[in-house]
């Protein structure tokens, strides 16, 4: 899966290579400007994907709040429940990242 940060780093690397092409790229006659354009497109798609994921997340939360209010949960309590759930997800993601980093070492 592509990562937005890594995609931007790769774009910088491609732009640097385009300014100072190595003999390798000269030999294979790679069109660096085309590669740069493709990576810019990848970055735009990743940014759009991130925005769409956030919109979906917000819509799901609004639906959950509505569902909780229908069974008598106050708006404040519903927001707190969602915040706890969000923190639990974040905690799980951080633990996964720590495990990956430990596995690299």
Per-residue pLDDT, 7: 78
Do residues 21 and 33 lie in contact, with contact meaning Cβ atoms separated by under 8 Å? Answer: no
What H or E segment, with its residue span, contains residue 29?
none
Residues 34-58 pLDDT 10s: 778 888 898 899 999 999 999 998 8
Measured CA to CA, the distance from residue 12 to residue 26 in angstroms comes to: 19
Per-residue pLDDT, 22: 65
Domain range list for the chain? 1-73, 74-105
Per-residue pLDDT, 30: 58
Per-residue pLDDT, 92: 92
Name the band, by pLDDT with cuts 50, 70 and 90, for residue 29: low
Six token digits for residue 3: 């990562």
């Amino acid at each position: 899966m592509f990562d937005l940060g890594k995609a931007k780093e790769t774009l910088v690397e491609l732009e640097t290579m385009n300014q100072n092409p190595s003999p390798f790229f000269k030999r294979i006659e790679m069109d660096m400007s085309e590669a740069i354009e493709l990576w810019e497109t990848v970055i735009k798609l990743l940014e759009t994907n991130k925005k769409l994921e956030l919109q979906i997340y917000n819509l799901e939360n609004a639906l959950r709040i509505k569902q909780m209010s229908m069974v008598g949960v106050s708006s404040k309590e519903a927001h707190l429940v969602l915040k706890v759930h969000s923190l639990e997800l974040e905690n799980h993601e951080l633990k996964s990242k720590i495990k990956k980093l430990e596995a690299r070492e």
